[in-house]
Amino acid sequence: MSSPGVDVSYRGNSFLPQIVPSKPTMTAPSLFVRLLLPAITSAAISGALVLGCPARKVSPSAWAQGSGAVPLLSPSALPTTPLPAPAVPADTSGLMPPGTFTEDERNTIAVFRSAAPSTVFVTQKRVVVDYFAGTSEEIASGSGSGFLWDDQGHIVTNFHVIQGAQALEVTLQDQQSFEARLVGAEPRKDIAVLKIDAPPAALRPIRVPRAGYRVEVGQKAIAIGNPFGLDHTLTKGTVSALGRKVQGVGGVTIRDMIQTDAAINPGNSGGPLLDSAGQLIGMNTMIFSRSGSSAGIGFAVPVNTIARVVPQIIRTGKAEQVGIGVEIDPSQRLERRAGISGVVILGVSAGSPAERAGLQGIRQTRRGIVLGDVIVGIDDKPVETYDDLYNLLDTHRPGERVSLKIRRGNQILTLTVELIALP
């Protein structure tokens, strides 16, 4: 069977139809023009549109009249705008390979992993009573940071973090929360100790350096805390200065404070300040700022003060204070009113070292009140205010002797007095 102009034949055993020319036979150019030229022309136009250049029309007669091939596109129709040069890869020869850290970064990461489980979130709670509805609700009224001191559940934080609290809650890194009770505090050092009843496995005490550890200006300082309630936030800086005197919440200056440029914000109070070995070097306490946020000047209670005061609070519920057995007015109302420099002795306790040394307090006579002795120095260091007296005595221990300088009338006397622990 055949159709006009086409013969269908089967070659071999393939039974595949093959198109073969039949009579009258067409020339090759004629077949090319009728079958293939339209497809080639369409492809050329499409390619020209894609390339953004005009297509050149080719007439079928041009193919039929000559044996030479007619180009589909002339050289003038090709794009004239040069292609952009391939981008030069950035120089990464000085960069760290992905997933690697510098030595300082590795140290910071190691310190955080070591100390973060020792850092806690302290929340102060208060009971709000609705007398009209007859209901009460416990709400969070403040927050701060703290750190685990030992495996008995003792927590160290700032006194101002828990001041006036009706209830306290401590949250560990694993988000376990426990009710906390106040063991004791030393407002003049802004130190407070709390206690939680938690399983020993959940408690990882902070690392405290050995006695005599010295902090140096320029060494690395890492602060961990809960600024603005964002728990376990790390900031890094250096120890900027030592021996700063900063007015504390207890009415006297806290001396030997550590100054750091590690960012300390509201909520960081009570958190640990660490060295590159992950050891405690101070407790973040306050900042110098005009805006209330970190300005790069923060202060921390030094670890030597913490290590001395905290065991005293755990043992007796208060910090140990030494004295000589005299009555004084920490507010110094008489001194301010009379313009007196020094600390006026108001009275002398019976059987005290002060009585044995012959110190005299204010006396009442028929002519009125007679001023007694005024303390003006200890161990060749001047005493002008109660703040000076407290901080000078704070460097000593019970049983030690000091050289006490007093003013009696117009005379300056020097007496040796033994120090005792005040009740």
Show which residues are catalytic: 160, 190, 269
* Rounded-to-integer distance, Cα 200 and Cα 382, Å: 48
With beta carbons less than 8 A apart as the criterion, state whether 306 and 191 touch: yes
CB 240 within 8 A of CB 214: no
**86 pairs with which residues across the strands?**
none
The owner of tokens 């009843």 is: 197
- Half-sphere exposure of 35 toward its Cβ, with a 13 Å CA cutoff? 7
Q: Which two tokens stand for residue 89?
A: 């890869």
Which residue from 268, 264, 193 is spatially nearest to 225, judged by alpha carbons?
Answer: 268
Q: Rounded to an integer, what is the distance from CA 297 to the centroid of its chain?
A: 14
Measured distance CA(100)–CA(178) in Å, rounded: 38
- Count other Cβ atoms within 10 Å, centred on residue 421: 13
Residue 98 backbone phi and psi in degrees, to 5: -55, 140
Residue 231 to residues 127, 174, 222, 299: CA-CA distances in angstroms?
24, 11, 15, 20
Residues 169 and 138: their CA atoms lie apart, in Å, by: 11
d(CA 159, CA 181): 13
Q: Which of 340, 336, 308 has its CA nearest to residue 322?
A: 308
Distance separating the N- and C-terminal Cα atoms of the chain: 129
Distance of CA 140 to the CA centre of its chain: 22
* CA gap 159, 305 in Å, rounded: 14
Beta bridge partners, 423, equal: none
CA distance 265 to 227: 5
Phi and psi at 36, nearest 5°, equal -100, -30
DSSP code at position 279: B
Q: Residue type at 411?
A: Q
Distance of CA 11 to the CA centre of its chain: 87
Q: What phi and psi values does residue 181 have, to the nearest 5 degrees?
A: -120, 155
